[in-house]
Structure 1
Amino acid sequence: MSDILKPMYDLLKKNVQWNWTAACDRAFNKIKSVLSSSPVLAHYDPSLELILSVDSSAYGLGAVLTQRRADGAELPVSCASRTLNNAEANYSQIDKEALAIVFGVTKHHQYLYGTHFTLRSDHRLPVTAASRLQRYAVKLAAYDFSIEFVKSANNYFADALSRLPLELTKKQLRGEDEEGRYLHYAQASFPISYDIKTETGRDALLSKIYGFVMYGWPSNYAYDDVEKIYFNKKDHLHVDQGCLIWGYRIVVPNSLRSCIMKEIHEGHPGIVKMKQIARNYLRPTPPAAPLHSWPWPAEPWARLHIDFLGPFNNSYYLIIIDAHSKWIEAEKIKTTSANAVCDSLRRHFSRFGLPKRIVSDNGPPFSSAAFAQYLECNGIKHTLVPPYHPSSNGAAENAVRTIKRVLKKAELEKEDINRALSRFLFMYRNTEQSTTGREPAVALLGRRLRGQLDLLRPDTAERVRARQLTEEQRGSAPLRVAQQNKPVLVRNYSKTGNKWDEGVVQARTGPVTYNVATKDGHTHKRHIDQILARKSRHSLSRVMDSSPNKSTSACSRDMSEGGSDHDHDESFDSAEEEASAGPAPAPQPPPPTLLAPTVQRIDKPRREAAIRCCEKLKNRK
């Protein structure tokens, strides 16, 4: 088909002059026959999914009924189009789109009635509407369908038929607008006799908005602040008898507003009564349904509500709120595309994990195929709230409103916006939430976030460490260090052999632990208190000759504590001496006053045992 249409595609190229040639005419006729042939036009299959695509133009309606095969290809089952009559040509764009839906559904009633189908349109219809649209809704209520919104460029089947419609039949040409009008009801009780249609045409702003509603809103037009108000409500605006209607309400021209306010205020009924009178004439929306809250998830980060904030200073923010903990994340993003949203969510999921469900509105990023595929790959369910009903996603809407207030305040006070946002989020996450009764940080992370105010509280960990250092400083001798590959005596805990075995230090495994290899080929892990230096006979005699009390004390300590010897030797260095750059000072004997009580506390049998131990040490090499 692309090869057949090549002559016609060439006419759409840039800087190409339009020239309908004989080749274009042959391609046009051939493609019509191809489209109506069996390889393209399929027979109806009740087991396949039905898709009805509709569209409208300024003068025609188009509808295409297709079915999606197992391989994903869509084959047309039926095509329909017709021209708008004189009355229908004056409809607003919203009414024309609704008329196209009714036309497509009724035209294919025998296929659609009693089965579910997908209604594909490139225009969003308002939730609340008056007169004609309400009757359309009643007609469509008999059918089971879901709505899929697509871009106009992707709705080319129905769009082409709406721009090349079939001519009207004689019955259609004679037909007038059989639909009753909303203003037929409103005019019966309207308190002002002025012609609103005439004043709407004279109003410079409303006449421009009237043209936008009738013939489409331009995409490359720079709207001012007042026009943006109407642009944001464009999906809810339509025309009835030359008057602009917003939902159920008449848009009153500026020249008539003072007169209508004066009429409503007649008799000074008060603010409440005056609003009640105005609502009786200007028809508000239907009463809201009773509040239905989302169930509270039992675990944190299980259900997330997301929405966009912006544009704010030409930037957008993705707002995420956890339904369990009420923890809010606000991240500035460059675009609102589906890929940008997935990248932002991926960063948050790397910190907090994957949620079970995400709730969002029907914005293009959230309803895109790329976003749906990302959630499906990660096992996340997606809930889309009803279109044009933001209260269904109230958690996200409240979070957006809160963050927006922070940004506006920072902008007004000439403060850095990013800094102000970070400070607010920190404060919010550490503040008790009124709904849950807990801080969001505690509910999500299990602890409060440490802030500057925590400096006023004593730090328990630092206090414990200070107490430990004090106790360590009150200890006895400084830490000894054994040199690697030096011969030592190591404590033997086996039932056979000597109490101390000779060995060699292999490696230091910790501040006070070593691996020592003994002569029997085994390697033992010992504490520094379980290792002695192997001294020469000269050094031992020097220790014995220096002071009897000291020798006796050392021997007694050897008997009672396992023979620990803290005298300096070539195999040991204290931690202080190892860190010192200068030569180590000579060891000084302890004062006699400290040794005398030690000797006095030793009874006669222990004293004799200590003397025998010293004699053995004197004879040991």
Structure 2
Amino acid sequence: MTEIFGDIPGVAVYSDDILVSGQTLQEHNERLNIVFKRAKENNVKFNKEKCSFTKESIKYLGHIFSADGITVDPDKVRAIKEMPSPTCLKDLQRFLGILNYLSPFIKNMAGETEILRQLLKKSTDWQWTANYETTFIRLKQLICQVPVLSHFNVHDPIVLQSDASKSAVGAVLLQNQHPVYYASKTLTETQQKMAQIEKELYSIVFACIKFHQFIYGQTVTVETDHAPLITLFKKSLVEVPTRLQRMMLKIQPYSLNVVYKKGSQMYIADTLSRAALPERSSDELDDDVIVHVNLLIKSLPVSPERLQWLINGTNEDESLQILKKYCKDGWPSSKTQVHQDLHEYWQYRLDLHTENDLIFRSYSIVIPKKLRPEILKIIHSGHLGIERSKAFARGHVFWPFMSTDIKNIVQSCHICLSHRSSNAPEPLLPHDVTLFPWEKVGVDFMDYKSKKYIVVQDYYSNFIEIMTVASANAKTVIVCLKSIFSRHGIPVELFSDNGSPFNSAEFKNFIWEWGIHHNTSSPYIPRSNGLVESAVNICKRFLAKSEESGTDPYLALLQFRNTPRGNLPSPAQLLMSRSLRTQLPTVTKNLVPRTVKFQQYVKTKEENKNKMKKYYDRKTKSLSELHEGDEVYFKKMPDSPWITGTVRSKCDQPRSYTIEGSDGFIGRRNRQHILKPPQSPQAVSQDMLRKSPNIQTSDNSHTVAPSIEEHTTPVETRTRYGRVIRPPRRLHFDN
């Protein structure tokens, strides 16, 4: 605007305001015609309703311009001039605080305030006489005149101070520490029930609206004594609570830099907020809120029947009727004063608002308790997972503990459970470090090139024995094991999978006769017999490599037995306390028997085991213990779907249970292949969803809201994590 009209004589431009003046009417009209011509050339349009022509006096930028000169706009000082007289010592101290702040601009400050300062003496009883009133009026007039009250200068920095008391807000516009404009306003009864942060933010909104013509388009420093506002202004608009969000929207057109200043240094704003003018003018902010909420209601993407269903459900919910009263009339000052049914809404109170018989938290509809099962059914109709179901509901509907209810409904859905992915692996349970060779051995079968082998490995030394077998029956296995055990001794424990040869009566009889403890891995959990599984892979590799290279596979097996493994001795050294002679030339000294340092070996092996467990456990998750009679889902095979069953007993092996399926199957399964559905008291079953109420469109279901004092039956209150809160039992004795 300044670029277009600034060079025209007699024309003053500030932001979007233009003042055209002239010594005579003719000169005024000539300059006005130039303004209109420039506006037409630059496609600038004026609002006819906001234009005034041929005025002998006008109010512009807080001043009255007339033929008599420039005078102060009465509105600028009305908050001071009509300030009520002090009624107590505190009121007087606040007023003197203003004078002390403005003392550099008041001549003979000490002399002017001498009479009032007599009331500050402890020896003087408080009594406001006519003499004090005369001095008080004179001092108010003094601070409403130049040089105390400054003319607004568009080039000087602008400081806005605002403050809120229990019943009013006050503000002052400052430039170079000179007050330019005073303002105050009494809060309505509803506004007085706002939280303190709401009042403090409202004081800034009030000041911006009041001083709009001065601060619009300017960078303004806002000083407040309420520190939480500093954090609030650093947040994005979407992160601000809804009730505050609407006020923040109101001041978006302004460039504000909010800073903290101690309340004891904000004399003027603090005093104005405690001695406000008794006016109750209509509030533009309230009008904006009503428009905002009405637009929200009209934009709800629901059918009229569904909307009426929600309204009826809200009207029939006694707790929500009380919640409506809180939203409209203000919340109690503390949580202990809130109705017990609504404690769970306390932390959301700044986000709640009501319109057209519905309650909203931000843009989400608060759902009555009676309608929640139906809403849960809609949320889970697509059978999405927990997090996706929460994301689907978030921003549309709300009630306390909604996330917990969604989690429970998803975890309780038999359809979702039957198609759920497998459990994550549990933390590793490594085998104990053995104390002597051949104390514990593992056995497994290996198939390679249409041949079948039996592989046996010592847990102490990792020494491998491999033999070809004609078939994998119990008799063949027993013969092979007897041959191996006759060379190395009978082990204390034999570990195998659950293959048929190892479960036969013949094999069990052999184990019993030879005095061996037989232990098996969980079905379809090969890693529990991981040492022998690794030995099988090693044997397959050296057989394949030997065949391809044309070398003897037994020499490859010999090299494996004679080669140290990382920081551990070779299997032959550990088992036989000597190195084996190979094709590689060597000296006799290397073949002389020598024992391994047992303590050092066991320590190293423990360290290796712990390191392996730490690495493996990074992507694992512990599963809860199961008990006899638990209703579960389990898998017959790792790739088969989940089916229902019951835990019959816990097996001796770790993490293993005997499961009886709903189809009559009975077998042992590892905890990884068993799914335990939640047994939460808040869980919503499928039957509950089927019994959810149908949508009612009757208009006759409106109920009268009960009074807050009306007695209602206590309900169970829970924390946001589902824990039940019970009132303390103090001085209650049972007879």
Q: Which category of TM-score, normalised to the shorter sequence, fits these structures?
A: 0.3 to 0.5
| TM-score relative to the length of structure 2 | 0.29
| TM-score relative to the length of structure 1 | 0.34
